[in-house]
Structure 1
Amino acid sequence: MAPILDIKNLKKNYGSTEILKDINVSIEPGDFLVLVGPSGCGKSTLLNCIAGLEPITGGSISIAGQDMTEVSPKDRNIAMVFQSYALYPTMSVAKNITFGMKVRGVDQATQDKKLQEVAAQLQIEQLLNRRPGQLSGGQRQRVAMGRALVRDPALFLFDEPLSNLDAKLRVEMRTEIKKLHQNLNASMVYVTHDQIEAMTLATKIVVMKGGVIQQIGSPAEIYNRPANLFVADFMGSPAMNLIPAKTRANGGATEIVIDRPAAEPLVLKDTQNANLPADVILGLRPEDIAEAGYRSGDNVQTADCMVEMVEPAGADTYVVSHLGGKQVTARLHAETTATPGAALPMAFDLSKVSYFAPETGARLN
């Protein structure tokens, strides 16, 4: 089966400025692809290139097995949901949803049928006679999604559709979009700078920086095996702890030596990773640093750490220490007795460790 979207060697320049650099990515039918990265990384530009709203400088874009590189946006069989909703203020919700079908000459009976199906899916049946000015932000976003859904396109494109909503509504709408994807088995490309949205929605994530793809993978691959320091730091909340360290061989183990303020260096023994360079950046997620006694295994090392800060967060408590010249966050259980200024025995799960090269940022293990 041909990919529903296939982008090869795509380049986008504005004058002499390179915005997108040799982009290669493809998704299968039914995939939910999320483009994620900081502001200015090129993710929205890439989405606009897929939609045909931006001409590309080089490369090709195929949708459903057909080359769409030079095809007009209206002929690409896509539907787009914008950050700004882009609704007609003088039209009712029903007319906003059906307007595109009317322009394309779809008969009235089909328009009515599609409208009722989509309104039921999005739970907006009671809003069909209202105008956009009478709706909340979440309701407007549902209408914008409804307008896309009635098209039944080969590909849905979402450009940061939840960024104008408050935190609670974002979570609700994220769930709605996830349900839509599961129910429709639709192919979707979604742009966001919010890595939590990326992790919860995607079947495949593309992490971008400076117009370059840093890593492509499933949410689990991106989270557990980040390809470089940028991905490790960007994906995850709180972010992965990235601790400068030195290594030395000791029998069948590698000793990881980490400086500590006003104390002897912390020495951890890693029994699973050998042949590491002398200088590394050690990466551990906050949940892989636990209070001693709450984590066990062949490659779990325990050491006392001085607690600098304690941050209760409901079901979890975040405890901050200082190692290798960096603040290090551990995600502990809510009932921890950790106290600022006191030492706490901590268990480091080195079976989950990532190592990176300090010079290049590339993953080493």
Structure 2
Amino acid sequence: MSPILEINNLYKSYGSTEILKDVNISIEQGDFLVLVGPSGCGKSTLLNCIAGLEPITGGDLHIDGRNMTNVSPKDRDIAMVFQSYALYPTMTVAKNITFGMKVRGVDQATQDEKLAYVAQQLQIEPLLKRKPGQLSGGQRQRVAMGRALVRDPKLFLFDEPLSNLDAKLRVEMRTELKALHQRLGASMVYVTHDQIEAMTLATKIVVMKGGVIQQMGTPAEIYNRPANLFVADFMGSPAMNLIPAKTRAKGGEVHIEITRQNGEPIILTDANNRDLPQDVIIGVRPEHIADASPQNGEMQAADCLIEIVEPAGADTYAVMQLGGKHVTARLSSETTATAGVAQKLTFDLGKVSYFSPETGLRLN
């Protein structure tokens, strides 16, 4: 079976300015692909290229095995949901949803049937006679999604659809979107700059920076094995701790030396990664630094001077200085960590990432 979306060596330039550089993506039917990255990284431009709203400068693009590189947007069998909703203010919700079908000459019985199905899926049946001005932001977003869903397209494209909603509603709509994807088994491409949104929704994530794909993988791959320092820093909240360290080989294992503000350096030993250069950046997620407990081979304890303690409900964040950087540990709410006091913490060396300070690339 051919991929539902396949992009090969795609380039996009405006004049001499390259916006997208050698983009290669392939997703299967039913995938939920999230394009994530900071503002200006090219993710919305890429979405517009997939939609056909922007011509591409080089490469090609296939949807369900058909070359769509020079095909107009209306013939690509896609449906797009925009950040701004783009609803017709003078039409009722029902007319907004069925308008596209009416234009394409779909018979009234089919229109009514699809409208009823979509209204039920999105729980907007009571709103069908209202106009967009009488709806909340979340309701308008549902209507915009309904208009896309009645198309039953090969590919749904979402451009930051939740960014106009308040924080609580965003979380609710995120859950609804995920449930909708699971019910429909539809193929979706979704743009966001919110990495939590990316992690929770995606079956596959593409992390972009400066028009270049930094990494493509499942949420677990991106989170646990970031390909470079940018991905490590961008994905995860709080971000991965990135600590400069020195290594030296000693009797079949590597000693990792991390400087401390006061006192001797912390020495951690790693028997699994023996080919590390002398200078590394060690990446460790806050949840992989814990209160000292019975240790197994990969958990190693060190005394750390806690500078700041931030209770956050189920978690408590403790901040210290290691390797000249602020390092955050995600401890349980029962922790005894106290600001200004040294605390024995364990580091899970089975979960750490190593990066080259020169190239920023992953070493293990």
- TM-score norm. by structure 1 comes to 0.99
User: Paired residue for 2:237?
Assistant: 237
Q: Which amino acid aligns with 2:251?
A: G
Listed as ranges, the matches of 1:57-96 within 5 Å are: 57-96=57-96
Q: Which amino acid aligns with 1:247?
A: T
SS across alignment from 1:261? coil
SS across alignment from 2:265? strand
Shift of 1:209: 0.2
User: Paired residue for 2:108?
Assistant: 108
Q: Which amino acid aligns with 1:276?
A: L
User: Paired residue for 1:16?
Assistant: 16
Percentage identity across aligned positions?
79
Off by >2 Å, runs of 4+ in structure 1:
none
Shift of 1:361: 0.3
Paired with 1:330 and 1:112, the residues of 2 have a C-alpha distance of 55
User: Paired residue for 2:203?
Assistant: 203
Paired with 2:311 and 2:21, the residues of 1 have a C-alpha distance of 43
Residue 30 (structure 2) pairs with residue 30 (structure 1): yes
SS across alignment from 1:62? strand
User: Paired residue for 1:328?
Assistant: 327
Listed as ranges, the matches of 1:125-140 within 5 Å are: 125-140=125-140
Shift of 1:262: 2.3
Contact 1:202–1:219 (CA under 8 A) maintained in structure 2: yes
Q: Which amino acid aligns with 2:143?
A: V
Paired with 1:200 and 1:356, the residues of 2 have a C-alpha distance of 26
Paired with 1:114 and 1:187, the residues of 2 have a C-alpha distance of 19
SS across alignment from 1:2? coil
Q: Which amino acid aligns with 1:29?
A: Q
Paired with 2:27 and 2:337, the residues of 1 have a C-alpha distance of 46
Paired with 2:210 and 2:171, the residues of 1 have a C-alpha distance of 28
Q: Which amino acid aligns with 2:141?
A: Q
Listed as ranges, the matches of 1:291-306 within 5 Å are: 291-293=291-293, 296-306=295-305
SS across alignment from 1:330? strand
Shift of 1:258: 0.7
For structure 2, which runs of at least 5 residues remain unmatched after alignment?
Answer: none
Paired with 2:212 and 2:246, the residues of 1 have a C-alpha distance of 30
Shift of 1:265: 1.0
SS across alignment from 2:45? helix
Contact 1:271–1:299 (CA under 8 A) maintained in structure 2: no
Paired with 2:30 and 2:267, the residues of 1 have a C-alpha distance of 47
Listed as ranges, the matches of 1:205-284 within 5 Å are: 205-284=205-284
Shift of 1:337: 1.1
User: Paired residue for 1:182?
Assistant: 182
User: Paired residue for 1:364?
Assistant: 363
Paired with 1:297 and 1:352, the residues of 2 have a C-alpha distance of 13
Paired with 2:177 and 2:269, the residues of 1 have a C-alpha distance of 45
Contact 1:272–1:299 (CA under 8 A) maintained in structure 2: no
For structure 1, which runs of at least 5 residues remain unmatched after alignment?
Answer: none
Q: Which amino acid aligns with 1:346?
A: L
User: Paired residue for 1:314?
Assistant: 313
